[in-house]
Every structure is written in structure tokens, then in C-alpha cells.
Amino acid sequence: MFLSFIVSCLWRFTRDRGSKLVRKITRIFTQKFNAPYYNWSCVPVDKRERLFLEFAVCKRRLKDMVSTARRTREQPPWIGETLWAVMCAYWDTEPAQKRSRTYSKARLSDRNGLGPHIHFSGPKSFQEIQDELEEKLGRIVTIGEVFVETHTKSDGTYVDRKAELIAQTYEQNVRDRLSQLEAEASVVSDGTSRPRELTNEELTTIFLQSTERDSRGNPYGLGSLEDTLGCANYNLPGQSSSSFLDLEERLKEAQRKIEEQAAYNEKRDSEIAAREAETARITAEQKDKLEHLSLVEKYLRQTDPQFLDFMASKSSTTTESLPATPQNDQ
């Protein structure tokens, strides 16, 4: 389908040296910031689809930029005065404050003894870190390797217990899969051939099976690399072909709604244009009539004394019929 094809093509361009592409994407999005979008869910569906088709990372950029503006209360130059006032008023409401406290508490929670979520990527995105590792090592770097890089301290220990458990689970699952491949190879060979190595896609699948997911199904510990999974059909636990068919149906439904909205907008624009044309025609006719009557009046004033007497009598009658203005006592 066209929509999924465009999205999958966009995901192929992942290398962004110096964040030049990210800055361009950010600049384009800020130019489209024309309403009080407090968060991504506030953005209309049709606008989301257009932004996804242009740049699939706009969701993450919006979240980071608006979140920073909300936290610092420093007005960015790309948010107008009126929009900024509306957004600040919303952030000060009790529901928004309560939601912020809830999310903050969740981020800083002890997580059953595992401690708050921490990573050491700093201002760099996980995608940038993966690119730098690939430049350094001269090979493709797996998601698991990026996870270890971003969740390990300089002394080699993990940033928290949860990261350590996930890394250990991932490493064990990789070893189990390699042992399985080795056993399969020994059955069909004379013992001299070596089992094949795991592909990057297989390692990604193993990591996704090893990590945890939040209530919305987002995998833990991937950062911006989560977006690169959008075009991959990884065989995760609990997923089947029916889930992908369901996703395709939802994409088709979204495309249908976009087409319906486009047709509605086209019809609405045509109706508005027709009304404007009719209004312009009526205005032009009235102007022509006024000009014609003005010429007739001018002609009669110059050629017909009786017309002048008539106009004078009507003028005096109108003056006499007006109510007298009351005089204030001095």
C-alpha cells in the first residue's frame, strides 16, 4: 500500500552526521506550529499523517521541544505570543498539573527495587550513538549493543538493576539461539562445518523479546531507535500475522479518512469560492446600479427644474420630520 511504502522508504535514511537532517526536520515542524499543540495527541489526525509522510521523527521532536518549553517556561521563538499564552494557561490547569505529577512520579519510581530509569546517551539520540559506533567499528551495530553502550557506566557497571537484567537476558537468549543453531548444524553436517552467525534482524528480534514493554507496548531502552522498527516485521511474542493484517487495515482506514477529508475540503473550498463569486457579482451589480442612478440624478439636475424643486421639497420634509434635539439647561 502507498502509505506504508512511503513510510518504509523514509526509514531507510537513518544516518544523519552532525544532526543536520534533524535540525532541518525541526525547522520545518516549527514552521507548521500554528495551533496550541500541548502534546502529540492534540495534533489533528490529518496533520499527523502529513507530518509522518514528510518526516517520521516529528513526533519525537515535538515531544522533546514542547516538553522543554513547558518545563523551562521560556517561550521559543517559533511559538507566537497568543499561542504561548494559551499553552501556559493550559499547563497551569489542575488536570495538566496532575498529569505532569503522575508522569514524573512514574519516571522517578523505584520500579520494585530497580530504581528510576537512567541512560548515559546525554544530548545525543540513540540513533546518533549507533551511527558513531558503526563509524568506529566499521560494521553494523545491533540494537543490543547500543543498549549496552547507553546503559553502562565508565567503570563497566550498568546504570541500574533493570538495565543489567535486560542485558543479561539478551545475552543469555543470544547464547541459547547460537547453541540451537550449532545443534542443528551438527545434525545435518559431518562436524567440520560451523553454524551460521545470527543476522542483525535476528539479534533485533532477540533483544525485543528480552526487553520489557510499557502499558502502550513501547519497548524499553531503545530511545529514538524505536522509530526505526516501524518498517520491520519482527516476530515478537504474542504477535501473529493477524496483528500485521490488523495494522494494515488501520493504515488503510487512515488513508481512507485522509482521502475523505481531502474530498470534503475540496468540496468546501468549491462552495466557498462559489459563494464568494456570487457575492462579488451582486456587489458589482449594485455598484453599476448606483453609478447609473448617479448619472440619472446628475442629468435631471442639469435639465429639469421640476426635479430640483422635487428634491428640495423632499429634503425639507425630511428635515421637518426629524425629532428636535433636547437642549440642556445651563
Mean pLDDT of 242-259: 71
Helices 94-107 and 81-91, packing angle to 10 deg = 70
Same domain, 72 and 166: no
Q: What is the pLDDT of residue 150?
A: 86
Residue found under cell 494559551: 86
49 and 73 part of one domain:
yes
Alpha helices in the chain (DSSP H): 2-12, 20-31, 45-54, 58-72, 81-91, 94-107, 126-137, 143-150, 161-188, 200-210, 241-303, 305-321
In this structure, are 188 and 149 located in the same domain? yes
d(CA 221, CA 225): 9
Q: How far is the CA of 28 from the CAs of 32, 69, 124, 227, in angstroms?
A: 7, 18, 20, 19
Do both 60 and 158 map to the same domain?
no
Q: Which of 235, 207, 227 minimizes the C-alpha distance to 151?
A: 207
Q: Indicate whether 314 belongs to any domain.
A: no
Q: Are residues 288 and 228 in the same domain?
A: no
**Pairwise CA distance, residues 25 & 161, whole Å:** 36
For residues 323-327, give the mean pLDDT.
57
Task: Answer whether residue 142 is part of any domain.
Answer: yes
Determine the average pLDDT of the residues in 204-225: 81
**Nine-digit cell string for 168:** 543479561
Neighbour count for residue 201 (Cβ, 10 Å): 13
With beta carbons less than 8 A apart as the criterion, state whether 128 and 19 touch. Answer: yes
Q: Which of 80, 108, 136 is the last residue of a domain?
A: 108
| Within a domain: 307 | no
Q: What is the pLDDT of residue 197?
A: 84
- Regarding whether 132 and 213 lie in a shared domain, the answer is yes
Task: Specify whether 161 is located in the same domain as 213.
Answer: yes
Rounded CA-CA distance 45/278 in Å is: 33
The residue ranking higher by pLDDT, 13 or 260, is 260
- At 249 the three-state DSSP class reads helix
Residue 140 has pLDDT above 50, yes or no: yes
List Cβ<8 Å contacts ≥24 apart for 149-152.
Answer: 150/119, 150/120, 150/121, 150/126, 150/221, 150/223, 151/118, 151/119, 151/120, 151/221, 152/120
Question: Does residue 138 share a domain with residue 46?
Answer: no
Q: In this predicted model, which residue has the larger pLDDT, 35 or 103?
A: 35
Q: What is the pLDDT of residues 1-28, one digit of tens each?
A: 333 433 444 444 445 556 655 676 677 6
Asked whether residue 160 is domain-assigned, the answer is yes
Q: Single out the residue of 142, 144, 124 nearest to residue 134, CA to CA.
A: 142
Q: What is the extent of the structural domain holding 273? A: 241-302
Q: Is residue 264 part of a domain?
A: yes
pLDDT at 196 over 90: no
How far apart CA 268 and CA 264 sit, in angstroms, is 6
The predicted pLDDT at position 286 comes to 92
State the Cα–Cα distance between residues 34 and 57, nearest whole angstrom. Answer: 19
What pairs with residue 259 in β-bridges?
none
Residue 293 gets which letter from DSSP? H
Mean pLDDT over each residue of the chain, to the nearest integer: 75
Q: What is the average per-residue pLDDT within 198-213?
A: 88
**Residue 319: inside a domain:** no
> Both 47 and 101 in a single domain?
yes
Q: How far apart are CA 142 and CA 228, in angstroms?
A: 12
- Number of compact structural domains in the chain: 3
The SS3 assignment for 158 reads strand
Does residue 275 carry a pLDDT above 60?
yes
If asked whether residues 193 and 136 sit together in one domain, one would say: yes
**Spatial CB neighbours of 176, under 8 Å, sequence gap ≥ 6:** none
Q: What is the dihedral of CA 148, 149, 154, 159, to 10 degrees?
A: -50
Q: Using DSSP, state whether 324 is helix, strand or coil.
A: coil
Asked if residues 63 and 40 have their Cβ atoms less than 8 Å apart, the reply is: yes
Percent of the chain with pLDDT over 70: 65
